[in-house]
Structure 1
Amino acid sequence: MSNIENLSKNTWVTLLLCGRFGERDIEARPLNQSEFHELDHALEICKLAPEDLIGVSPMDLKAAGVIHGLSAKRLARLLTRKVDLEKTIDVWSQLGIWVVGERDEHYPTRLRQRLKSARPPLLFGAGVMDCLDMGGVCIVGSRASGEPALQFSNALGKRCASEGLTVISNDMRGVDREAVSTALENSGQAVIVLSDRLEKSVVSRRYRDALANKQLTMVTPFSPNASFSVANAIRLNRYQYVLSDVAVIVETRRKGGVWTGADENRIEKWVPAFVRVDHPMSPGTFALLHLGLHAITQNDVESTDSLGDFFIAQASKDINNKNHDAINTDEFVKPKDLYSFFLAELQNIAKKTPRTETYIMKYFEIERIQARKWLVRAVEEGLIDKENGKDSYTAK
């Protein structure tokens, strides 16, 4: 259900200032998040709000010290885009897209409290808006994850649906889409945080019924017609975490958006985070476990009496013991340190095929000096062989 026809004046002006619509105008470049918040703060000091900019000369505001570092000409041009905005709003309304500004009462409290000045000025979406403040389980993982990761994501999505836990993820293929689709197929609830193309997503065959049945909410801090960009895809991760109650990282490399989001959440401490434990584990996944994230196995997902209670119980445990206690499968034994993990994984990749130092360095995403140090140690311990006259190693 769209709220477009009843936009607050503050949100209307925020759209004029920050929205990306109509023809591009070099002199009317929309304000970015930081610029808008600086302007908004200056307005608050003067006991004003964005809506007060309508009908007021930008030059007068600049003279009063309201506009810091913003061109009066640029601001004036942005505020004159009313016709283009009205046309754009008509399109959004027909698609069922809603808009909420940070001064509106329906703006998610979680974003306001957890991101503070880093919160987006505008959110665009479709579906039930109230779901954005109901929390849920953030489920993320690599797009190129293998079958075990997909099976885990499927089991987790199904379990969330059965317990009434909202799945919060995005529409990237692989782990994320598997979790969302499974939850929806099992009459569950989901929130999809998008980095691009909301206008196309709301009419896609994949999610049309779920939106109509009020099972699904789509939301993005980016313009509904925004095309894909790596920068936006990486920024997207933080919104998934702050909207949730708990996060599960199914699989990750030691770089990229999934890793960046997990590490930012670890530093900011927005929500308790779990990492899928399996054997073998990717270097990135194991690194998160080593950094203190809680462990969760597919057996935990499928066998625990209450997934919600499991999350609460594990997140409450002492950080020094939580990883060991969370693992309840005999098929996996956590290596004691990173070198032990290195050896265990090397057995998998170099048992049948000799691997060069360069290949090993890139596979584990570690510095060459570290790879060489561990390889020399493993050779000395008689655990691997180095081929004579070659820079290749074979696991015994």
Structure 2
Amino acid sequence: MAERRLLDRGGIAVVGSRHASPEDLAFTTRLGAEAAVQGLSVISGGARGVDETAMLGALGREGTAVGILADSLLRAATSARFRPSLLNGNLALISPFNPEAGFEVGNAMARNKYIFCLADAAIVIAADREQGGTWHGAVENLKHGWTPLWIKPHPDPTSGNAELIRRGGRELPAESCDLAMLFNREAPSVVDRPLPLVAEPAAPPFKPPETTISVADAILDNLDFYQLFLRRLRTLTAKSPATDQELLTHLDIGKPQLRDWLKRAMDEGQATKLGKPARYQWRSAQPEQHSFFANE
């Protein structure tokens, strides 16, 4: 969803556990910001934890990001945390699966290759050894050599990070550096050109895309958040009506926005309001009243 041009820019893939430590998440935020000021996109999976933190770190510095989601693309696109960046063209959200698909472990594993293949280099912040999407994606990347893989050092020699380094991943420099140097497949594990934690913004190189990357049909042109809302409303109330509070728990939008969109949907005849208690339902889900005398 949103800017296709971001898919052709490359950038830094940042991946990690959903259960990363506060220290790792703080590092991830700084890394995302550093990528932004150096003119590089952050590419990640959009999951809570490291993935989302890296993307928000870049977007918070007015950088760009690409989120390759394994589930719930429509819900993420209407989320308050992503919507402003989608509208200003700094974020692209895509998925190789149905935009309304729920979470499945197999899908999460399958989308890993898109994250690595769209990036010029990848950084693993925290990986659980022998388990989880981050671990399996990193091992798969090492096997196929899609992109240079850098691992944040971990003091525990039994950690997933330490094992990935033993299997061929390169140790991420402790000092802030020119991140573009990580793109070099022959680059040493120690970078001798440290930069300040937040460098001066660098103008990103731009060249017109020669090809368009196809990621199923989940990229939607002419983005209209109200239309996305209608699709979610139809899904959520197809079988039974829902209160505004029930809708809020599923839509991740503010109450004023929900109220405005519900009113618009009712004015357009897309939805109807039921009373006692107030509930809303997609109009086509209402049973039609057939007359016994229709043929007379």
Task: Provide the TM-score with structure 2 as the length reference.
Answer: 0.62
CA contact (8 A) 2:154 2:161 kept: no
For CA contacts below 8 A with separation 6 or more, give which structure has more relative contact order.
Answer: 2
Match of residue 118 from structure 2 = 243
Equivalent residue for 2:87, pick from 212, 220, 231: 212
Q: Distance in 1 between matches of 2:157 and 2:11?
A: 26
Aligned to 1:291: 167
Q: 2: CA distance between counterparts of 1:142 and 1:234?
A: 13
1:182 maps onto 2:57 in alignment: yes
Q: Is the 8 A contact 2:154 2:162 kept in 1?
A: no
Q: 72, 78, 84: which is aligned to 1:203? A: 78
Unmatched 5+ stretches in structure 2:
195-296
Q: Is the 8 A contact 1:295 1:327 kept in 2?
A: no
Q: Partners of 1:328 and 1:146 in 2: how far apart?
A: 28
Note closer, same or farther for the CA distance 1:257–1:171 as it changes in structure 2 (3 Å cut): same
Identity, % of aligned pairs?
A: 33
> Which of the numbers 139, 142, 153 marks the counterpart of 1:277?
153
Structure 1 distance, partners of 2:157, 2:80, is 35
What residue in structure 2 maps to residue 257 of structure 1?
133
Residue 148 of structure 1 and its aligned partner are, at CA, apart by: 2.1
Q: CA 1:281 to 1:209, structure 2 compared with 1: closer, same or farther past 3 Å? A: farther
| Cα distance in 2 for residues equivalent to 1:181 and 1:307 | 18
Deviations along 1:271-291, whole A, 9 cap, x unmatched? 001000132466211010001
Structure 1 289/130 Cα, relative in aligned 2: closer, same or farther at 3 Å? same
Q: In structure 2, how many angstroms separate the alpha carbons of the residues matched to 1:245 and 1:201?
A: 25
Tell me if structure 2 keeps the 8 A contact 1:294–1:326.
Answer: no
* 1:242 CA displacement: 0.7
Distance 1:218 1:290, change over 3 A: same
Cα distance between partner residues in 2 of 1:245 and 1:312: 5
Deviation, 1:328, is 11
AA of the residue aligned to 2:172: I
Aligned to 2:107: 232
Aligned residue pairs: how many? 193
3-state SS of 2:71 partner: coil
How far did residue 135 of structure 1 move? 0.7
Distance 1:316 1:173 in 2: 32
> More helix by proportion, 1 or 2?
1
Residue from 142, 147, 161 that aligns with 1:266: 142
Please list the CA deviations of residues 180-229 of structure 1 after superposition, one character each: whole Å capped at 9, or x if unmatched. 01100100000000111111111111111000000000010101111111
4+ long deviations beyond 2 Å: 278-282, 325-329
The one of 9, 12, 22 aligned to 1:137? 12
Q: Per-residue deviation at 1:258?
A: 0.7
The answer (yes or no) to whether the contact 2:70–2:97 under 8 Å persists in 1 is yes
Q: Is the 8 A contact 2:157 2:163 kept in 1?
A: no
Asked if the contact 1:169–1:192 (Cα under 8 Å) also holds between the matched residues in 2, the reply is yes
Query: Deviations 1:114-135 (Å, cap 9, x if unpaired)?
Result: xxxxxxxxxxxx1111211211
2: CA distance between counterparts of 1:240 and 1:292?
A: 19
| 8 Å CA contact 2:14, 2:122 repeated in 1 | yes
Cross-structure match for 1:307 = 179
Give 3-state SS (helix, strand or coil) of 2:125's partner: strand
Deviation at 1:326, TM superposition (A): 5.5
C-alpha contact 1:190 1:217 (8 A) present in aligned 2: yes
Tell me, in whole angstroms, the C-alpha distance in 2 between the residues paired with 1:267 and 1:281. Answer: 22
Higher Rg: 1
Deviations 1:104-163 (A, max 9, x none): xxxxxxxxxxxxxxxxxxxxxx11112112111110001111122112211110110001
> How far apart, CA to CA, are the structure 2 residues paired with 1:281 and 1:163?
32
For 1:212 and 1:156, how far apart are their aligned partners in 2? 24
Which residues in structure 2 correspond to 1:65-104 (within 5 Å)? none
Task: Give 1:327 shift.
Answer: 9.8
Secondary structure, counterpart of 2:98 in structure 1: coil
Which position in structure 2 is the counterpart of 1:171?
A: 46
CA contact (8 A) 1:295 1:326 kept: no
